[in-house]
């Protein structure tokens, strides 16, 4: 089985990144993280990468005169590292159509709710869990999906439900959902390592 080369993009603490690192180290995920790229030089995700001898790269639009120059640099990083998949793990920027087209069906994102509910612009972080609780929904969950040019829209790869409890606050729900995120993301990436994912008409089909 081929070892997948991953490039992880993250903006924050990177607990999902950590879960992927752990899954690789435990032999549950047949992949290698070639680099972690963050738009935030102080983000702890970069520190996590360094602690595991993974290349940590600060790359922000602010470093370039135009968005096209950012894309060229990012594409060069992908090429240098022969990245098979781009993994968005709490990356707070939208990728450009140039990148999304260059990596069609090879960019994954994780969302802390059951898409297509509670997704779209402004639905990130604690806002997602606030919206779930305010809706009165009894079930939330985790979605791992491919990234296309529409926010939170690409084909769904895996989903898992997480109960919403009567005494949940957005924070307690977030904590429970995050635990499932940490498990589900590596499982989804492993499906790609095993070449089990077919994509057709915005749906994925997982081979047994």
119 in contact with ligand GRF (CB under 6 A): no
**Which of 34, 48, 111, 129 forms a contact with ligand GRF (CB under 6 A)?**
111
Contacts 24+ apart (CB under 8 A), 163-172: 163/138, 163/139, 164/132, 164/133, 164/137, 164/138, 164/139, 164/140, 168/133, 169/133, 170/126, 170/129, 170/130, 170/132, 170/133, 171/126, 171/129
14 in contact with ligand GRF (CB under 6 A): yes
Catalytic residue check, 111: yes
- C-beta of 184: minimal distance to ligand GRF in Å? 10
**Which of 74, 86, 87, 90 forms a contact with ligand GRF (CB under 6 A)?**
90
51: left (phi over 0), alpha (psi -120 to 50) or beta: alpha
Q: Which two tokens stand for residue 24?
A: 């690789």
Answer whether 129's CB lies under 8 Å from 174's CB: yes
Q: Which of residues 140-199 bind ligand GRF (CB under 6 A)?
A: 178, 181
- C-beta of 178: minimal distance to ligand GRF in Å? 6
Answer whether 29's CB lies under 8 Å from 49's CB: no
Active-site option among 52, 58, 61, 111: 111
Which window, 5-13, 66-74, 132-140, 192-200, contacts ligand GRF (CB under 6 A)?
Answer: 5-13
Q: Which is nearer to ligand GRF, 137 or 178 (CB)?
A: 178
Point out which residues bind ligand GRF (CB under 6 A): 10, 12-16, 89-90, 110-112, 178, 181
Give the residue numbers marked as catalytic: 111
């Amino acid at each position: 089985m081929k070892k997948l080369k991953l490039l992880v993009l993250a903006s924050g603490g990177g607990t999902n990144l950590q879960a992927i690192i752990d899954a690789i180290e435990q032999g549950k995920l047949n992949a290698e993280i070639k680099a972690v790229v963050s738009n935030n030089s102080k983000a702890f995700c970069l520190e996590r990468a360094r602690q595991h001898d993974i290349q940590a790269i600060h790359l922000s639009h602010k470093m370039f005169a135009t968005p096209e120059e950012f894309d060229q640099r990012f594409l060069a990083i992908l090429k240098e590292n022969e990245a098979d998949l781009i993994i968005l793990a709490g990356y707070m920027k939208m990728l450009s159509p140039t990148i999304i087209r260059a990596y069609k069906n090879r960019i994954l994102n994780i969302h802390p709710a059951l898409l297509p509910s509670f997704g779209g612009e402004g639905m990130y972080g604690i806002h997602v869990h606030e919206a779930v609780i305010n809706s009165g929904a009894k079930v939330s969950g985790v979605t791992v999906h491919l990234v296309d040019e529409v926010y939170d829209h690409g084909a769904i790869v895996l989903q898992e439900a997480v109960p919403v409890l009567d005494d949940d606050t957005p924070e307690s729900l977030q904590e429970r959902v995050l635990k499932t995120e940490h498990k589900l993301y590596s499982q989804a990436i492993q499906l790609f390592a095993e070449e089990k994912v077919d994509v057709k008409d915005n749906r994925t089909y997982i081979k047994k």
